[in-house]
Structure 1
């Protein structure tokens, strides 16, 4: 009898019973501490399950609360009983009720037999700690923490801040070097007896009673005073997410846990029947003797933490919504936005679909409805063409559309009369290719037969909206691929400019454009702009048509 287990249990008593029976059946004594908050009825029923098992005993109970001295006290009580009741135990392994042995007990005993004077405990000086998340490092030893961080958070924060302002610094007990590490350890009998029977234990306990989360520092610091040889690592596999919360292992983690070669893992989901059935099988064949190496699966957890923190590009849901300033693509795929092209060219959507492929929508942010390709009313992912639903969250309308159609590049038109809230979102998205012919919206007005009063009012409104759109495209932080021309600039050699756009979207190819969609006759367009000036609207986004040779084409009447 060289190995004993101490278990701290507060829930999932059926699973704790299975593990305790497994260890005791292998000849290892088990001391169980049950949280004092557990009712007497539940405690007595749990204790009765071990009647007749002389290797399973219970320690005095205390009410345990996370981050407080009570957790250390519970460990002291259980460990003391282990040492008093089982003098043959040479190593004590601390575990929780949610721990699960991953390797046969015999392999762990052989491993400890080969390291008889080694204490396995993660113990790192506070200057080298890099894993704390939203917590205190050195200050946990120099300030006092009499209030619960979970139950009395405001009082905890205010009292901590008050001590900082007053310059409070606790004096470390003589001979103490603060260290931090995992709560789950495996210590030798000699080291534990030295800690529990130290002449200055009362002073040490009194000091650590006001340390924050002392279960991560009490044994980790005091072991440094007495241990002959320390392996600063835990034999228990415990992984944590970006918020410092433990990863929970489920049934589909069987192979992952086996690859770690660790002796024990936490935290196991109580309903993981496959895990408990696999690893507690008494007939499970022993594996080759291997050094515990949780680093084998670190890459898997690193990816999981990245996925949880960053999510998948372009996927928005209630569990992960990027904060303002989120870096990187805010959508999941490349897409194209054309502004002004449908006003300058007839049947531009059909021409563009033939040249670049993919789906070419109309104005997705038209005030009346989302103009899906093919006049669809509902698109992939049950996206409705309702303007009311779309404008409730215009940015997420776009991200949902791209997510639901990933694998197919989307293209749509956008004009100054469309929903403005999405403009800045697209400008800051590196997945967007935005092509703008500013002032092209004036062509339909020029060709319309509407009264001049209406045209003047509409031109003023559209120009204000387009100026805001252009400002967003030229603002600091724009990451979209932006191609911008005035109408006067574009109508000079339009085929060359369209060729550059097509090459960027599809990649350069051997075939050059031989045709472009027809344009309306713009010979009277400068006169139309002068009429706007005479009516009090100064056109500024169309460019200088006085020096622009206008192309000839057939006049288009109406829209």
Structure 2
């Protein structure tokens, strides 16, 4: 009888009885404290269920509200009974009603017998704590907290602000250095007796009554004053999320808990039948002995926290959807946007799909309808080709398309006649690769048989829109990979930029282009631009096209695209 357990219970008393019986029948006395707010009927049933065990005691009940002194008072009362009624107990282990032993208690007893003077309690100074939630590290010891954070949040916050404004500071008791740590500890009889029977206990109790969350600091601070051998770690596996709430373990965590090699874990779901059956059975002794190492599963918990807080790239979670820029990446995968290519080349979509082995759409943001690849009316994820549905939220439309087709590179056309609301979103997306031939919108106008007055007006409108888009793409905040050529520059040497584009889409192919799409017939295009000037419009995005019949050639300077990183 060298190990005793103090259990703090408030719910799931049937599970608490099961765990207490497990320990008591293996020669480990148990002192149980039940929250005063728990119904008396449940407490009486718990006492009746354990009445046949002579080494179980029940301590006076205190109201144990989170963050208040009641939890410490309950621990003190139960620990005092343990020390008084069971003089042979050398180590006292603090547990909760939701704790579950992961290894046979005989292994824990042997482990502590080999370390008879060691106190196991997480105890670190406030300067070294990085896991507190709520912004109160040192202030929890220098301010007073008479109000409940959960029941009287307004009074709690207001009183804190008042104390800060008037610079109220509490004086620490002599010799006390505040420490913080996990509530669940295992202390030696000597250390626990020194804390409970010390001459300064009254002073310490009065001080800690107004400390916020004293169960994380009372024993953690006082143990440093009375113990000469503190091992700053808890033997209980307890994990917390980014909000400071404890993780709950379920049946599917069985192998995870075994891998930790810890002696006790909390918080166990009361209906986790598989866990209770596995760890409280006699067969549990067949597991190999090892040093407790919760760090072995920290990586999985870190990933869980990351998934909870950041989500998956390009997947907009309900918890963060109303908050802009909370997403983990704007889209789920790389994609390519082409402006002016479909206007300059005949069959560009088909050619690019064949050469790069990727999915190439038309103008996804065209005013009439969504031009999915192959003319589909419904695409992956039940995305409709309705322009009205798309324009209700163009951003969600694009992110849904990329998410639904992840694993397959998506390419689509864009132009000044498309819905421009998506432009800034694409420009700020690191997954976007944007290639623009400015002024190419004039090629279909040049080939049309419309009235020239209408052509001039339409060209002026499209040029104004494309100028605004180019300004956005050259902004310093742009994160997309952007390449911009004027129409004249591109026509001088089309092979080099086409090769660059294909290499970026499919970098593993590393093959030279042997065929290119057919270039639109631009004979007379220079005169067409001059006619626009003669009609009062200044075409500035197309570059230098000669008025004669000759096209720009490569004999001059090489075409060099603008590269915006």
TM-score range, shorter chain: over 0.9
Matches within 5 A, 1:88-107: 88-107=88-107
Greater Cα shift, 16-25 or 462-471: 462-471
Matches within 5 A, 1:235-246: 235-246=235-246
Give the equivalent residue in structure 2 for 1:545. Answer: 545
SS at match of 2:54: coil
Deviation for aligned residue 1:535: 4.6
Residue 5 (str. 1) matches residue 5 (str. 2): yes
> Residues 509 and 123 from structure 1, CA distance in 2 versus in 1: closer, same or farther, beyond 3 angstroms?
closer
Normalising by structure 2, what TM-score?
A: 0.92
SS at match of 1:550: coil
Give the equivalent residue in structure 2 for 1:401. Answer: 401
> Residues 118 and 511 from structure 1, CA distance in 2 versus in 1: closer, same or farther, beyond 3 angstroms?
closer
Deviation for aligned residue 1:524: 3.1
Q: How many Å separate the matches in 1 of 2:151 and 2:459? A: 61
Structure 1 consecutive aligned stretches of length 4 or more whose deviation exceeds 6 Å: none
SS at match of 1:411: strand
Q: How many Å separate the matches in 1 of 2:110 and 2:334? A: 57
SS at match of 1:53: coil
Deviation for aligned residue 1:171: 0.5
CA-to-aligned-CA distance 1:462-486 (integer Å, 9 cap, x gap): 2232223212211123222211111
Give the equivalent residue in structure 2 for 1:21. Answer: 21
SS at match of 2:285: coil
Could you list the runs of 5+ residues in structure 1 that have no partner in the other structure? 553-559
> Residues 509 and 117 from structure 1, CA distance in 2 versus in 1: closer, same or farther, beyond 3 angstroms?
closer
SS at match of 1:381: coil
Q: How many Å separate the matches in 1 of 2:54 and 2:454? A: 96
CA-to-aligned-CA distance 1:271-300 (integer Å, 9 cap, x gap): 222111111113322444322111222222
Aligned partners of 1:103 and 1:286 also within 8 Å: no
Give the equivalent residue in structure 2 for 1:256. Answer: 256
Give the equivalent residue in structure 2 for 1:557. Answer: none
Residue 529 (str. 1) matches residue 561 (str. 2): no
Deviation for aligned residue 1:60: 1.6
Residue 47 (str. 1) matches residue 47 (str. 2): yes
Deviation for aligned residue 1:372: 1.1
Aligned partners of 2:249 and 2:266 also within 8 Å: yes
Q: How many Å separate the matches in 1 of 2:70 and 2:372? A: 63
Deviation for aligned residue 1:347: 1.1
Q: How many Å separate the matches in 2 of 1:107 and 1:405? A: 53
Aligned partners of 1:60 and 1:77 also within 8 Å: yes
Aligned partners of 1:521 and 1:551 also within 8 Å: no
Aligned partners of 2:314 and 2:328 also within 8 Å: no
Could you list the runs of 5+ residues in structure 2 that have no partner in the other structure? 554-565
Deviation for aligned residue 1:243: 2.4
Q: How many Å separate the matches in 2 of 1:416 and 1:391? A: 16
Give the equivalent residue in structure 2 for 1:555. Answer: none
Give the equivalent residue in structure 2 for 1:147. Answer: 147
Deviation for aligned residue 1:531: 4.1
Matches within 5 A, 1:316-395: 316-321=316-321, 324-325=324-325, 329-395=329-395
Count, aligned residues: 552
> Residues 150 and 461 from structure 1, CA distance in 2 versus in 1: closer, same or farther, beyond 3 angstroms?
farther
Aligned partners of 1:121 and 1:232 also within 8 Å: yes
Deviation for aligned residue 1:523: 3.1
Deviation for aligned residue 1:458: 3.1
Matches within 5 A, 1:39-188: 39-188=39-188
CA-to-aligned-CA distance 1:144-192 (integer Å, 9 cap, x gap): 1122222322332232222222221110001211111100001112211
Normalising by structure 1, what TM-score?
A: 0.93
Deviation for aligned residue 1:412: 0.9
Aligned partners of 1:328 and 1:430 also within 8 Å: no
